[in-house]
Amino acid sequence: MPENWWICKNREYFLIRVTHNDTKCNNVLIDLETGEGVCVIDLDTVMPGLAAYDFGDAVRFAANTASEDETNLRKVSLSMEYFEAFTRGFIGKSARFFTSMEIETMAWGAPIITIELASRFLADHLLGDKYFRIHRPNHNLDRARNQIHLAKSMEVQFDNMCVCVEKYVK
């Protein structure tokens, strides 16, 4: 059975789209004069996927109150202010392209991708730090803890995240 069997079974609701899979502001070239985005870069991660994954990865990066390298977990949380600003732009400009089920489940992308990355950081730590570049001992372990803490913050604020997504669909 394919690992995305549930999505395949419900494909009329979830469109497999071209997704970037490393959605963050670092991967957008900005025109220095206008401040406008010119194009998306770092295209080696582009593949079929769900819109919620790109939304979620961008939220994980942009709405975190700390960097993913922060070791003081008290500094790590989801900023609803940043979440709303990102959602206003992303959903506000693109909602018409998504199915109602995609919109309804868009907020799920953030905790799903955050836990996925936490798992990848932990696996890399356990396997000797072969994939992600590290700058200190236990760096990937710290990153995993950071992302787990962020996911917990998302869980606490999840209802507000869903309301925020719905707010900008209109």
Greater pLDDT, 5 or 129: 129
Pick the closest to residue 58 from 117, 13, 16 (CA basis): 117
pTM, two decimals, is: 0.85
Q: What is the pLDDT of residue 170?
A: 74
- Torsion-angle region of 69 (φ positive above 0: left; ψ -120 to 50: alpha; else: beta): alpha
Hey, is 125 helix, strand or coil?
A: helix
| Mean pLDDT of the region 56-81 | 96
Query: How does pLDDT run across 80-127, given as a tens digit for each residue?
Result: 999 999 999 999 999 999 999 899 999 999 999 999 999 999 999 999
Structure tokens at 137: 């001992």
Residues forming beta bridges with residue 37, ordered by sequence position: 30
Q: What is the pLDDT of residue 1?
A: 45
Label residue 166 by pLDDT band (50, 70, 90): very high
Residue 129, class by beta-carbon neighbours within 10 Å (0-12 exposed, 13-18 middle, 19+ buried)? middle
Hey, is 41 helix, strand or coil?
A: coil
Query: How does pLDDT run across 10-62, given as a tens digit for each residue?
Result: 566 667 877 767 677 787 788 899 988 888 777 777 788 889 999 999 999 99
